[in-house]
Amino acid sequence: MSHNLLQGKRGIISGALDENSLAWKTAVKAHQQGAKIVLTNAPIAMRMGEIKKLAEQTGSEIIPADATNMDELTNLFSKSQEIMGGKIDFVLHAIGMSTNIRKNIAYPELNYDFYNKTLDVSALSLHRMLNVAYKMDAMSEWGSVVALSYIAAQRAFSFYTDMADAKALLESIVRSFGYHYGKYRKVRVNSISQSPTKTTAGGGIKGFGDFYDFAELNSPLGNASAEACADYCVSLFSDYTKMVTMQNLFHDGGYSFTGMTDDLMKAFAKE
């Protein structure tokens, strides 16, 4: 149901790969709520995904951009303003990649070239996007930037390896750049720490299925769905959250503050 929460607003959605991705769901929801959007992803991800289908569904244009390349990000923000006819009101940063995870390299044995790439793609890309928008004065006052994170930024998860470090850095950038952008243009910067979600990216993590079930049993509300995450993103893009900034917001059905549940203990007892 549309309440026109984003009527008249312009946004950039990064990271939509296929219909299962959080960015894809968020783009659809933003469009339903009245926003104009531009879609962006790295050229290699665009070849692997179905972003053209999403563009048709939402009436959006696509601007390819490598989020680690300042020139391409400058082009992204410049062309987005031209296409949509004004400054940007919201941005979704849904970018993450770990070659160490893809190659099943354990945390104590990380390949450092891969590690640096993980940090660059998954965290420093947020700083780069904010840096470009800040210098170009590309965002409207009271604009909103949302980055997707995970609780492994605060706690140890053996299977999340160097992505945990990247998410910790991402959340630090949210706080630090959120302060400066707030002082400069009242732009809010937040991250959402989402439940394990059955996306293409999540499914690539070893043992994800078992952990998804574990989190479901240890969350009083169960795991938050991709659709629910998209709704939460929309609320943070909207004017109803104008005083929320520099926060890491847990969207995980209560998992982050639950120690142990009866359901989980029963599951272990059966084994």
Question: Does the pLDDT value for residue 16 go beyond 90?
Answer: yes
Residue 83 included in any domain = yes
Give pLDDT, residue 14.
97
- Residue 110: half-sphere exposure toward Cβ, Cα within 13 Å: 21
Coil, strand or helix: which one is 144?
A: strand
Give pLDDT, residue 199.
72
Give pLDDT, residue 200.
65
Q: What's the domain range around 38?
A: 10-270
Give pLDDT, residue 89.
98
176-192: pLDDT as tens digits: 999 999 999 999 999 99
Question: Does the pLDDT value for residue 2 go beyond 80?
Answer: no
Residue 203 — pLDDT band, cuts 50, 70, 90? low
160-174: pLDDT as tens digits: 999 999 999 999 999
Residue, of 47 and 147, whose pLDDT is higher = 147
Strand partners, 12: 38, 91
Give pLDDT, residue 205.
62
Number of domains, the chain: 1
Question: Does the pLDDT value for residue 197 go beyond 60?
Answer: yes
Name every residue whose Cβ is closer than 8 Å to that of residue 49 and which is 6 or more positions away in sequence.
Answer: 16, 17, 18, 41
Residue 5 included in any domain = no
Q: How far apart are CA 36 and CA 270, in angstroms?
A: 51
Residue 257 — pLDDT band, cuts 50, 70, 90? very high
Work out the mean pLDDT of the chain and round it to a whole number. Answer: 93
The CATH number assigned to the domain holding 225 equals 3.40.50.720
Give pLDDT, residue 270.
67
Residue 142 included in any domain = yes
Residue 2 included in any domain = no
Question: Does the pLDDT value for residue 159 go beyond 80?
Answer: yes
Residue 1 included in any domain = no
Q: How far apart are CA 187 and CA 11, in angstroms?
A: 13
Residue 186 included in any domain = yes
Strand partners, 148: 192
22-71: pLDDT as tens digits: 999 999 999 999 999 999 998 876 766 689 999 999 999 999 999 999 99
Question: Does the pLDDT value for residue 207 go beyond 70?
Answer: no
80-125: pLDDT as tens digits: 999 999 999 999 999 999 999 999 999 999 999 999 999 999 999 9
